[in-house]
Structure 1
Amino acid sequence: MAHHLIQGRLVTMPVRVREATACVATYLVRADAARAVIAYSGLDITEVLPGRAACTLTFVRYTESDLGSYAEFGVSFLVRPPGAARVRGGGALAGLADVRRVGTGAFVHWLPVDQAFTMEAGRGIWGFPKELADIDLRLDSPYKRCVLRRDGRLVLDLLVKPGFPVPVARTAAPLDAYADLGGVIRRTPWSMSPRGVRARPGGALIRLGNHPIAKELSELGLPKHALMTATIAKLSMTIGEATQATQVTQT
């Protein structure tokens, strides 16, 4: 069993999140624009439709976890696993079949948090691009809202509208998270158990500020209608040990 010493505190792997509340807004964006945003990683975007990529904005309130209580915001993209060749052409059906065959993972592009301990743990244990930010989460009403500021500048103001109850598996399929910190690509396995899930097509209102991340999002085409939104009333997660991943090979 692996252990990590963070700020004089021992963190035992895997890390467990026992209770959290999460909100998600997923957008279809131009694949070429998404590739430009994450070009530094060398990873390749998964085209969920020809020429289109999935960009997901997530905000979470961690109530009880091995890393304490904190707020988090994330910008992520679906990507091909490192080492998977990129297949070009073939039309929509061929593209979707290729996604299923090759598989996919979530590349964490930016992950601000509001507490120093989880920032250091996230960077040191998994190589996640965590940094401190001012995250104002308003989760007590059916309309969930996140106002995010970094260095005194507004990044975004994101509102997620109420959705409809949807049945979900007690334990969702595990997903690999990838991150690039200091030029090193790491893969982190994680799984989650969601309860109280509500979802809907669209359902997001977003206002961008003048921070560089806001500029990146605008270059992806935001603000625009979300493909879908979801809220999770109670979420538990297990986050495994990170391993260094092999760089992607493209053909």
Structure 2
Amino acid sequence: MKIPKRIRDYTGKKSLVDGIPFTLPVEATKSPAIMAGFFCDYEKATELMPGNELHPFKYINGKALFIVTVIDYRVTTIGKYIEYSLAIACTKGARPGPKLLPAVFMKSYGTGQYVLDLPVSSEISVKGGKGIWGMPKHQASLDFKIEANQISSQYEKDGEFAFRIEIEKPQKIWLPVSLASVNYSHFRNMLVASYIYFKSKAGLQIGKSAVGSIYVGDHPRTRYLRDLKIESSPFFTMYLPEIHGVLDDHFDCWFVTYDSMPATMKSDGLDSIVNLKLNEEWLAPPKFTDYQKFKI
């Protein structure tokens, strides 16, 4: 995990943004996470990209990659919360990248993930993540359960089932992971790229050894995901029992371009954050149990 020198140099300094006090760097420790990737239809994934700037990453089988990442942030700069990311692996540029190559030359192709939805547990996380870094955060009912043989996380919004992921708990945590990743977001009809550096040891399962399931509910924030033709078996699953992550203080922002003028804003605007408070309280945990009928 190569954290930029400027971040290391201001460790312990203070910052105040939109009323949120930060002791720098903005980081998380002792936080378990799961990640899983599922192949999906490339053309359908293309339809979800904003404007002309982003393109789905294309695997050697010609398919796109739908990625679910859930992090149970237990020790952070702004308190504890769960973050639930639903995203599509992508590249940035004037045209789509070739098959697979952007996974190797990530910087050249702007390889990262486009975040479709990002529910979190607390209001202060929405205010900071959306207001500062443009992430599509909103508060929802979330959980993160680690059991003997399975790790699961469920997402509900307004009392309605939205999404659930389950993965088999790996027997061995053996893989050292240390990398930087790029998250692309669509806010104010602008394209925002934020950067995170993290390290951990992980239990990784690939191909037929990867066991997991996802369930897509009827909530408007998620039901459209069924149109992606997501495959039922994951391409990979990963469990990271204790990550250390650092969010960069730097982000990039560009205009989103269209071939013709859009009739309306195609993303949330500033009005979605101006009245948010610094509340760290969570909503009631998910309660829906009849999710099996929504299995992909």
TM-score range, shorter chain: 0.7 to 0.9
Q: Structure 1: any 5+ residue segments left out of the alignment?
A: 89-93
CA distance in structure 1 between the aligned counterparts of 2:87 and 2:62, rounded to whole angstroms: 17
Aligned to 1:100: 104
Give the C-alpha shift of residue 50 in structure 1: 5.0
- Using the size of structure 2 for normalisation, the TM-score is 0.73
CA distance in structure 2 between the aligned counterparts of 1:229 and 1:14, rounded to whole angstroms: 29
Give the C-alpha shift of residue 200 in structure 1: 4.3
Alignment of 1:1-251 (within 5 A): 3-6=15-18, 8-39=19-50, 42-49=53-60, 51-81=62-92, 84-87=93-96, 95-97=99-101, 100-101=104-105, 102-103=108-109, 104-165=111-172, 167-169=174-176, 172-201=178-207, 202-222=210-230, 224-246=232-254
Rg: which structure is higher? 2
- Using the size of structure 1 for normalisation, the TM-score is 0.85
The letter of the residue matching 1:3 is S
Fraction of identical pairs, as percent: 19
The letter of the residue matching 2:120 is V
Give the C-alpha shift of residue 34 in structure 1: 0.8
CA distance in structure 1 between the aligned counterparts of 2:200 and 2:146, rounded to whole angstroms: 17
Q: Describe the SS at the equivalent of 2:213.
A: strand
Give the C-alpha shift of residue 36 in structure 1: 1.2
Q: Describe the SS at the equivalent of 1:119.
A: helix
Question: Once the two structures are superposed, what CA deviation does each residue of 1:125-176 show, in whole Å capped at 9, x if it has no partner?
Answer: 2100000100022124331111210121101222111225354335x12122
Q: Identify which range, 202-211 or 241-250, moves more after superposition.
A: 241-250
**Aligned-residue CA RMSD (Å):** 2.5
**Counterparts in 2 of 1:39 and 1:249: CA distance versus 1, 3 Å:** closer
**Counterparts in 2 of 1:69 and 1:140: CA distance versus 1, 3 Å:** farther
Question: Once the two structures are superposed, what CA deviation does each residue of 1:205-247 show, in whole Å capped at 9, x if it has no partner?
Answer: 2222111233222111246111111111011101102433345
> Is 2:37–2:235's contact at 8 Å kept on the other side of the alignment?
yes
CA distance in structure 1 between the aligned counterparts of 2:155 and 2:25, rounded to whole angstroms: 29
Q: Structure 2: any 5+ residue segments left out of the alignment?
A: 1-9, 259-296
Q: Identify which range, 33-42 or 205-214, moves more after superposition.
A: 33-42
Q: Describe the SS at the equivalent of 2:196.
A: strand
> Is 1:163–1:200's contact at 8 Å kept on the other side of the alignment?
no
Number of aligned residues? 241
**Counterparts in 2 of 1:248 and 1:48: CA distance versus 1, 3 Å:** farther
